[in-house]
Amino acid sequence: MYTGSLRRLIDEMGRLPGIGPKSAQRIAFYLLKMPEEDARRLAEAIVEVKEKTALCPICLNIADTGELCPICADQRRDTSVLCVVEDPRDIVAVERTSQFRGRYHVLHGALNPLEGVGPEQLRVAELLARLDPEGVKEVILCTNPNLEGEATAMYLARLLGPLGLVVSRIASGLPVGGDLEYADELTLGRALEGRRTLDAS
């Protein structure tokens, strides 16, 4: 239906995650109507992020090329506690809680044998290399509460346990405002396992 540069733009938009054919077409037409300076600014931002971002050499979070990420550069962070996450976006989620003041390590994935993702495809070797030099005493396994995340957490727990570290796993359970009748068995079971004593005083 469309040809030339517009067809190419729609095709490229359609390759983005979560963007179907109709959304791709709608975005392409929106960009077509944008003032040229706005379109150039968007294009330059895309090129710049590809040219000037890399992985932090310490934790493998997203960082400016040749620099540490803001968390690794912050000398006030506790280097004895390491929170292991699957993806850089998970760091943003944990940081929003304002409950964690340690450092992070990004695995860039989770174990998934069906898709050919084993320990070699994850950043496990880099994790092990950090433990002694940084004086890590506790590793918090903050992988997703799904089959792949659980398998990854169990693998890391078996790997790290003999090293004399405290290895902990984030608790999982019922969301605030949720109803018990709608909870699945795994979630409710985890909530019971992670129960805590209430102080009645």
Residue 146 CB-half CA count within 13 A: 7
**Number of other CB atoms surrounding residue 187 within 10 Å:** 17
* Cα 61 from Cα 78, distance rounded (Å): 17
Token pair recorded at residue 30: 């929106």
Indicate the CATH number of 4-54 among 1.10.8.420, 3.40.50.300, 3.40.50.1100, 3.40.50.150.
Answer: 1.10.8.420
| Per-residue pLDDT tens over the stretch 2-40 | 778 999 999 999 999 999 999 999 999 999 999 999 999
- Domain ranges for the chain: 4-54, 56-169
Q: Which stretch of DSSP H or E encloses residue 184? A: none
Indicate the class that CATH gives domain 56-169: alpha beta
**Number of other CB atoms surrounding residue 24 within 10 Å:** 18
Closest CA to 145 of 187, 82, 200: 187
pLDDT given for residue 38 in this prediction:
96
Which band of pLDDT confidence, cut at 50, 70 and 90, is reported for residue 180? low
**Number of other CB atoms surrounding residue 37 within 10 Å:** 8
pTM: 0.81
* Cα 60 from Cα 48, distance rounded (Å): 19
| Per-residue pLDDT tens over the stretch 34-46 | 999 999 999 999 9
Cα dihedral 196, 137, 109, 117, rounded to 10, equals -110
| Per-residue pLDDT tens over the stretch 122-142 | 999 999 999 988 899 999 999
